[in-house]
Amino acid sequence: MRHGVMIFSVIISYWRNITLPWICGILLASVLLAMPGKVMAGAAEDPGVVDAVDYGAYLARVGNCMGCHTTKGGQPFAGGRRLSTSFGVFITPNITPDKETGIGLWNQQDFWQALHQGKSRDGRLLYPAFPYTEYTKVTRQDADAIFAYLQSLPPVSQANPAHDIFFPYNSRALLAVWRTLYFKEGVYEPDQSKSTAWNRGAYLVQGLGHCNACHTTRNMLGASQDNALAGGQIMGMNWYAPSLSSHLEAGSGDWEIEEIAALLTTGITERAVASGPMATVVRQSLQYLSQEDVLAMSTYLKSLTENDTGNAPGVHFSVISGSLRRHLELGGKIYREYCQECHGADGKGAPGIYPALAGNRGVVMDSPLNVIRSVLNGGYPATTAGNPRPYGMPPFQQILRNEEVALVVSYIRNAWGNRASLVRALDVDQGKGGDD
């Protein structure tokens, strides 16, 4: 699009924001309560403790804990971020070592209990907005390292409001039933038939990375329908996290491992751009992964679709009628005025700068939500060490009416050999809500 970049590409996500409601460590309980004060005693003299703190800092970055536990303009890890969901509003807690308002009274066992069992220090059940359904796979050693790091932070005195959860979801009895139906406790078990790298990648993706928290379809009670990273609308956010196990969406079975790693750490490659919430995950978390870990994750992610033989995207209409042609011509006129300067008359864009729209899986997915959101809100790819000055795209929400956005998106989804369903003005209106 003019002066910017249509960020429509494959949105491959592994840690939910990203500032995303369901992706960072959210100890969703009224936190705060008792830890014997010797956990970090002698840290300065004990190299083992210092190493644990450093490693814990790395793991906290991998899990993007600060993304959820820090509100805009607030102190790191002091909580207070509002997470709007269909079940109500959760307020992320203070996880600094403040003894009154944080977790300064917690010990290692309390923290392990929260991550592994989904229970607060006093035994209360935590809401699964805190992804303990994934964090249960994290090893005790890694949990202890994260705790050591959090305890090394400066205490911040900040009391946060209580959650505002709708009835009947605020019932602890209902939560207990939910856990019985949908929560399976257990540390990740390596697959002995797979390589060390594959298992390390699976551990990060399934556990600390909690990718399934976003890339899954959920039922009416917010439970994941499967563990196959098969894609779904992100809970509490008006974005679609594409399937990582289908080559029709964001599967990477036909990619080189190094190319997957480049997308994870820089947010952009010649054929994909991480956009929306995923761009935040790349910026805040993934770009800081060690080379070994990012290659391990790439190995695992590639394996999810190496044997995928799914059919090509369905053609929704084989013959373009006169009325449909006129409809698309109107969208083409809008495209030429606002989009062609960057993305080209042939829709091929400029590799590494402006994403191609022709043949783009993110454009022709069954759900047009991400394309609509990109046109409405614009945005930037992640600012990373590998892409320090990304090209951005301006928002068009104040320039184009809903009907015009629907026309141009319909055109993009059906030009240059693309084939996908048309978009309605109602779809655009529904795409305006949700947090970023």
Best CA proximity match to 171, nearest among 88, 106, 105: 88
Distance CA 396, CA 381 (A): 17
CATH number, domain with residue 333: 1.10.760.10
342 among the known binding-site residues?
yes
Inside any domain, residue 118:
yes
Which of 148, 182, 216 is a domain's end point? 182
Inside any domain, residue 312:
no
What does DSSP say about strands 164-165 and 232-233: parallel, antiparallel, or unpaired?
unpaired
Which of 182, 214, 233 is a domain's end point? 182
Inside any domain, residue 391:
yes
For 241-271, the DSSP string reads: E--SS-TTTT--TTS-HHHHHHHHHHSEETT
Inside any domain, residue 13:
no
Span 185-195, average pLDDT: 96
Token pair of 293, please?
A: 């870990």
pLDDT on residue 372: 95
For 24-89, the DSSP string reads: S----SS------TTTTTTTTT-HHHHHHHHHHHHHHHHTTHHHHSB-TTS-TT-B--EEEETTEE
Inside any domain, residue 435:
no
Assign 294 to helix, strand or coil. Answer: helix
Inside any domain, residue 317:
no
Which of 161, 182, 203 is a domain's end point? 182
Distance CA 57, CA 223 (A): 30
Distance CA 168, CA 198 (A): 41
Angle of CA points 84, 87, 92, to nearest 5°: 45
The answer on pLDDT for 51 being more than 50 is yes
Q: Is the model more confident about 409 or about 128?
A: 409
Could you tell me if 102 and 155 are in contact, meaning their C-beta atoms sit under 8 angstroms apart?
yes
211 among the known binding-site residues?
yes
pLDDT digits (tens, 9 = 90+) for 57-96: 999 999 999 988 999 899 999 999 998 888 899 999 999 9
| CB-count burial class (<10 Å; 0-12, 13-18, 19+) for 285 | buried
pLDDT on residue 39: 32
Which of the four pLDDT bands, split at 50, 70 and 90, describes residue 48? low
Beta-carbon contacts of residue 367 (< 8 Å; ≥ 6 apart): 233, 240
For residue 113, the one-letter residue type is Q
69 among the known binding-site residues?
yes
pLDDT on residue 227: 66
**Domain of 369, in residue numbers:** 322-430
Total structural domains in the chain?
2
For residue 71, the one-letter residue type is T
316 among the known binding-site residues?
no
Inside any domain, residue 316:
no
68 among the known binding-site residues?
yes
pLDDT digits (tens, 9 = 90+) for 371-397: 999 999 988 788 888 888 888 899 999
pLDDT on residue 214: 85
For 307-350, the DSSP string reads: T--PPPPPPS-SS--HHHHHHHHHHHHHHHHHTHHHH-TTS--B
Phi, psi of 289 (to 5 degrees): -65, 150
| CB-count burial class (<10 Å; 0-12, 13-18, 19+) for 403 | exposed
pLDDT on residue 187: 97
24 among the known binding-site residues?
no
The answer on pLDDT for 250 being more than 80 is yes
Inside any domain, residue 288:
no
Q: Is the model more confident about 242 or about 30?
A: 242
